[in-house]
Chain A
């Protein structure tokens, strides 16, 4: 092809153009590589260094052998699964309700879902701390209304942690679910009814599968967030609900054990990556909208 007139000059121009565009992307990419990819990559390296600086698998071995690690992972999974489960129970009706509302009413109600997202996480966690404590609002009202006699321990335990985490995670499940449901053409349900399906069957056989992409996206996001979550369990769990993230933080802040913390972190990262890839394979993750959506 380079026997054509001006071919070289044109190729040179094309190269310049590509360089120019690359220079637009480079600064952001560089910042992220230097402040995140390199440090996190470094952690991988640290995780296979023994305390004396030699190459060693000891941190991973310890994780495998020491029962406390098993407990930590068990707690983490328990909290994550419970949180995700409760979120599904609460988010599904809410998302469905919102998807049935006319656009303007739905957008208005969306504020209720979005407002918590943009309120500081600390504020929300603190709010629950205050509400759930022994002399907090819930206990005061409960006792006043005669529902129970002694103040319930609603915080610094699993219950408090779950309440706080569900509250934080719920919007993350509602949003993709809502988007998915909104896009379902209600004609499908009409057709199902016309063909003889009861409301329950047409929900289960038509609506639920069509909303599945949104549900899986939401569940994935929530579960992954739960796995690595730090603030809410640390505050509302009061040191009794030790998740992987708390363990990592403690290893650094208290024990200065970089090896152990890094190894734990690597495991967390690998878990997260596997979950994402696995879900991406099973469902078309980029396709939260079902086909034939409503305009």
Chain B
């Protein structure tokens, strides 16, 4: 334990004197991660009351999930909405981020703030507002309405990712490309896009996740045949603690982690 006496900082504070800091920090980090992780083994409990560690292991909750038409339909809806959102939001947001970055518009900052407002306005407001508008436009419970609303929520996320990539990108390369004979569009396509590809893909994945995990707007706006997974889960949570949700949660956590790890991995190998 001699390392406790060693100096941790330039000002000669020892590790021992800071031990409390290390303990608190580690505890907090553990506390952040553990609850989600605990759901995974608990989802394999045979009992109605999820146990850790499970006294009896079983996959009944997974069976219950896969056998249920309602849950499956909701899952398909959420996946479809997620993919469509990614397909719509990513190009729109990338174009907007690029346009703002390249133009020397006087009101660029104002426009940027406008484009980020979905992140700032309380989601409950957006939820009821969109609901009201959709009732009038007869878009309630439709996939189109859902995707439009989710894309609106996803655009700021994608914009932030792409904008930060553009900021660290040397735009002189586009100028050079144009001097060598490439039109603006070709220069973007052949020079800029390949280099911000990773960020665009990350943005698309985040757009997908934004849609897939979205709760509040989906609560109001999706329903009937187009009810999302999140909506069904939320309603189930409010009524009773259905252990099937543990199985669904585990699958969501694993799928999300795998998705993010793959994205990171692909990015590293560039």
A interface, CB within 8 angstroms of B: 18, 20-22, 24-25, 27-29, 31-33, 35-40, 42-43, 46, 90-91, 93-94, 96-98, 100, 109, 112-113, 115-116, 118-131, 133, 135-137, 140, 167, 170-171, 186, 189-190, 193, 199, 202, 224, 227-228, 230-231, 234-235, 245, 248-249, 252, 258, 261-262, 265, 268-269, 272, 276
- Docked complex Cα distance between A112 and B28 (Å): 9
Residue pair A135, B238 in contact (C-beta under 8 Å): no
Q: Do A118 and B129 touch (CB < 8 A)? A: no
Tell me whether B102 and A21 are in contact (CB under 8 A): yes
Which secondary structure dominates where chain B touches chain A?
helix
User: Could you say which of B28, B111, B118, B216 contacts A230, with CB atoms under 8 Å apart?
Assistant: B216
CB pair B237 A97 closer than 8 Å: no
A123:B25 contact, CB within 8 angstroms: no
CA A18 – CA B51 in complex, angstroms?
Answer: 62
Per the bound structure, the CA–CA distance linking A190 and B30 in Å amounts to 32
Contacts of B93 in A (CB 8 A): 28
Q: In the assembly, what is the distance between CA of A94 and CA of B27, in Å?
A: 9
CA distance A125 to B213 in the complex (A): 12
A-B contacts besides A126-B237, A249-B124, 19 pairs, CB < 8 Å: A28-B93, A28-B159, A32-B117, A37-B117, A90-B24, A93-B28, A94-B24, A112-B32, A119-B36, A122-B213, A122-B215, A122-B249, A126-B245, A137-B42, A235-B234, A245-B124, A249-B219, A269-B122, A276-B120
CA distance A102 to B216 in the complex (A): 39
B62 located at the interface, meaning its Cβ lies under 8 Å from any Cβ of chain A in the complex: no
Say whether, besides A46-B132, A235-B238, A25 and B38 are in contact (CB < 8 Å): no
What residues of B have a CB within 8 angstroms of the CB of A228 in the complex?
Answer: 122-125
Count B interface residues, CB 8 Å: 81
Q: B182 on the interface (CB 8 Å rule)?
A: no
| Contact indicator B21/A189 (Cβ below 8 Å) | no
Is B155 among interface residues, defined by CB-CB distance under 8 A? yes
The residue that A25 contacts in the complex, of B49, B111, B241, with Cβ under 8 A, is B111
B residues within 8 A CB of A39? 126, 129-130, 132-133
- Find out whether the CB atom of B220 lies under 8 angstroms from the CB atom of A245: no
Cβ–Cβ < 8 Å partners of A93 in chain B:
21, 24-25, 28
Looking at the assembled complex, report how far the CB atom of B255 sits from the nearest CB atom of chain A, in whole angstroms.
10
Rounded to whole Å, the gap between the CB of A275 and the closest CB of chain B is: 11
Contact of A113 among B29, B115, B124, B230 (CB under 8 A): B29
The 3 closest A-B pairs by CB, nearest first: A228-B122, A24-B99, A39-B129
Q: Is the CB of A31 within 8 A of B152?
A: yes
Question: Are B213 and A28 in contact, CB atoms less than 8 angstroms apart?
Answer: no
Would B33 and A227 count as touching, CB distance under 8 A?
Answer: no
**Chain B residues near A265 (CB, 8 Å)?**
122, 124-125, 128-129
CB of B36 within 8 A of CB of A28, answer no
Residues on A with beta carbons closer than 8 Å to the beta carbon of B102: 21
Q: Is the CB of A24 within 8 A of B24?
A: no
1/0 contact string of B101-140 vs chain A (CB within 8 Å): 0110100000100110110111111111111110000000
Residues of A within 8 A of B13 (CB): 199
Q: CB-CB < 8 A to A24: which residues of B?
A: 95-96, 98-99
Q: Report Cα–Cα, A87/B99, bound state, in Å.
A: 38
